[in-house]
Amino acid sequence: MQYTAVLFSCFFFVLITFILMKKIFILLVSLFMFFSCGQNETNNEKTSKLSQEEVIKIAREAYVYALPLVIMDLTKKQSTNFYPGNRIYAPVNVFNHSSQFPDASFRSVVRPNADTYYSTAMLDLTDEPVVLSLPDTKGRYYMMPMLDAYTNVFASPGTRTTGDKAGDYLITGPQWKGVVPEGMKEIKAPTNLVWIIGRTQVNNKEDGRRVVVPLQNKYELIPMSKWGKAYKIPTHGIEDTTIPKGDPNSVVVKMSIEDYFTHVNTLLYLDPPPAADNEALERFASIGVGPGLKFNIMSFDDSTKSLLRNIPKEVFAGFKMEISKPKQDLINGWTVHKGLGAYGTDYAKRAFVSYMGLGANLSEDAIYPGCAVDADGNALNGANNYVLHFDKGKTPPANAFWSLTMYSEDGYFVDNSINRYTLGDRSKLKTNADGSVDIYIQHTAPSKDKMENWLPSPKENFNLLLRVYWPKEEMISGKWEAPAVKKAE
pLDDT (0 to 100) of residue 2: 35
CATH 2.60.40.1610 fits 85-226, yes or no: yes
CATH of the domain spanning 326-487? 2.60.120.600
> For residue 110, what are the CA distances in angstroms to 82, 102, 235, 418?
21, 12, 28, 21
At residue 329, the pLDDT reads 81
Each residue's pLDDT tens digit, 184-230: 999 999 999 999 999 999 998 899 999 999 999 999 999 999 999 99
CA separation for the pair 459, 478 (Å, rounded): 33
Strand boundaries in 47-177, DSSP class E = 96-97, 116-124, 130-134, 142-143, 146-147, 153-155, 167-172
Among residues 417, 370, 363, the alpha carbon closest in space to that of 156 is found at: 363
- For 157, 343, 399, 465, the CA distances from 366, given in Å and listed in that order, are 14, 15, 10, 12
Reduced to 3 states (helix: H, G, I; strand: E, B; else coil), residue 420 is coil
Domain with CATH 2.60.120.600 in the chain: 326-487
Give the integer Cα–Cα distance in Å for 86 and 89. Answer: 7
Quick one: fold of 50-81+240-325? VPA0735-like fold (1.10.3360)
Q: pLDDT under 50 in the chain at which residues?
A: 1-41
| Chain center to CA of 19 | 50
Which pTM value belongs to this model?
Answer: 0.81
> What is the pLDDT at residue 232?
87
Which residues of the chain does CATH 1.10.3360.10 include? 50-81+240-325
Q: What is the pLDDT of residue 415?
A: 95
Residue (of 236, 155, 166) closest to 197 by Cα position: 155
Closest residue by Cα to residue 80 from 199, 257, 243: 243
pLDDT in the model for residue 107: 81
